Amino acid sequence: MSEMTRVFLQDHEPIDFLFEQNRDDFIVDELFEKPFKTKGNFLILHIKKVNITTWDTIDKIASFLNIPASSIGYAGLKDKYATTSQYLSLPLKYEKQLSRFHDKQITILETFKDSKKISIGDLKSNRFTITLRNVDDIKAGKIEKLARNIEKIGFPNYFGYQRFGQDSITQAQQMIDGEIFIKDKKLKKFLISVYQSKKFNEWLKERVQISKADAENGFKLLNGDVMMSDDDKLFTPKTPSIKEFKDKKIVPTGLLVGREVFRARDEAREIEIKYDDELLVEKGLRRRAWIYPEALTCKYNKKESTMELSFVLPKASYATIFIENIANRNF
């Protein structure tokens, strides 16, 4: 089994349905926690984009306005092969000029004003609407039952296949080992994130395999786990509270390797250390190891042989992992 294979708690037979990322079957909408203000020096754009990356969207708008791409704020990157809506910000003085902007792949749905630009981290969550095809009555029943179970017990917050470009894992490892030198700062930063993501996925895979013995209770907590509270604060309790975990008041976290990061202790550290790299100069982080889909709806269309799943996930998590978990196979 490949080290990059993602495993899940449920051991059901894989479900064979068709899942593709395209403009019709993969729809994503950003959700912000706070409403925008009615005045300020920044123009907030609520845009819809189709089959185009966030970076390319920003570049197109920046090119039209003849401003640096760095002048445009965003909260998160959205998939290319999809229909997605997200929020961007730019200085208010470009409002009139922007009214003449037209593009086949980008639609400005509405605009707001605010006193602050949008930044990474401002996003609360994303709403996904995903259509699965080639679904018959039996598959539809299985899919809904599994989705409801995952809604209750959660699922591992792996990085999805979108995180890893072609040959990027090999290139990242070669860079870390000093076998190649990367001059381009943007590419170097990307490869470091690939390396961190790979290490996290490998650690999470082992923790899921440990948890399989007690799959009904979800993720198995260990002494020394670094937990995250519902207000995003990190702490290491003497004994993790299973009740608080089940009540979704705390969640275990995994390590994104680097410096100045809260590391696990005791039993949890024995596993974590196998996937650590304390020599990496990049700043480290903690990432939620376990997440829960919310606002889940399942709509089966017998005539079209489709199942539409709509759900909300926390920022920086992957809807494709939820679908993989239901299918019990890697895409």
User: Could you list the active site residues?
Assistant: 79
Three-state DSSP state, 99: coil
Neighbours of 88 (CB within 10 A): 20
Instruction: With H, G, I as helix, E, B as strand and everything else as coil, classify residue 197.
Output: helix
179 contacts: CB under 8 Å, gap ≥ 6: none
Instruction: Provide the 8-state DSSP code for 3.
Output: T
Secondary structure letter of residue 278 according to DSSP: T
- Read out DSSP for 119-141? -TT-EEEEEEEEEEES--HHHHH
Element at 266 (helix H, strand E) = helix 266-272
Tokens of residue 255, six digits: 């390590």
- What distance in Å separates the CA atoms of residue 139 and residue 300, rounded to the nearest whole number? 10
Write the DSSP symbol of residue 259.
B
What is the DSSP-derived secondary structure letter of residue 112?
E
**What crossing angle do the helices spanning 137-153 and 319-327 adopt, rounded to 10°?**
120
Cα separation of 91 and 154, whole Å?
40
Please, what is the angle between helix 185-211 and helix 168-176, to 10°? 100
Please classify residue 290 by burial: count the beta carbons closer than 10 Å to its beta carbon, then call 0-12 exposed, 13-18 middle and 19+ buried: buried
Contact 259, 253 (CB under 8 A): no
